[in-house]
Structure 1
Amino acid sequence: MSQALIIIDIQNDYFEGGAMPLSYPEKAAENAAKLLNHFRKSKKNIIHIQHLAAKPELGFMLEGTKGQQIHSSVKPLEGEILIIKRYPNSFAGTNLNNVLSELGVTDVVLAGMMTHMCISSTARATVEYGLNATIAHDACTTCSLSIFEQMIPAQQVHLTALAEVSNIVNLLNSDEIINR
């Protein structure tokens, strides 16, 4: 089994002062950083995913802004793989599958932002590519959503997104991943 940590979109726009602050991004980033440090010490594969807005009218993750930069808590080190994406699914329009294949990766750990969008989209795609996936659920976060004049709190959105993929991926917290 060859494993890789994939850190998805932990970028400045999702933190206080950014264009789209999420619910408790600091806590999710702190747990992602714990995983990142563990993978670095264990000399396991690490892949950073950075989102750049496909269209400027989205209003966040705009190329060339401070908001689209990877947050300092999980900044890639020289030599670590960085893949730029423009869609929620980290495989769409990128070379992620080729990179994972070249590294011989069979198992991925996903951490990042937003649970209901890029994390769940990427998790679903792992199945299509024949990978085993684990979501570090405490190293992810999202935002509240509004639909049909109803507000859905961020924690409920987070749990619902995890529940939707729970039959195709493993759900563990960062300490469980580090200690297994």
Structure 2
Amino acid sequence: MCFFKPCKLAKYKELKERVRPLVRETVSYLHKFLEAGDKMILVEGAQSTILDIDFGLYPYVTSSRRCGWLDLIMLSYSNMINGFTGLAVTKLDILDDLKRLEVEYLTLPGWKTNTEDVRKWEDLPKNAQRYIEVIRDKLKVPVRWIGVGKDRNSMIEIP
């Protein structure tokens, strides 16, 4: 069964050649400009990079969310694509009751202390601080905000 008439197929072949020079592998292309620092790149941030149709982890390229251990390899890949200048680590409070945390191939001790009322970095449990520091150090991107609860004001801002 033929879906295209020969005249339309010829037109599509012509268009393909016109578009071909505009098509490229965008991760390395954008990363080059981010590293050089001489271009501004607008990033749509409503969805996770890994859910993106082009850069996502198939079959997770829908609007659903993955839950589990922090995947710094995935986060590093997202950073390569987007060029983060700061991170917001949210829902730190849901980790409050864990005895251990796994980050990339590291296992860190949990803090077993409620963080929902904490509003200053220095008041976070030392193990929670270490968790944030590992994220910062592995990505080489500053963590600017830490969410510790459900309310809008449940945020620690780090200058």
TM-score, normalised with respect to structure 1: 0.29
Larger Rg: 2
Whose RCO is larger (CA < 8 A, sep 6+)?
Answer: 1
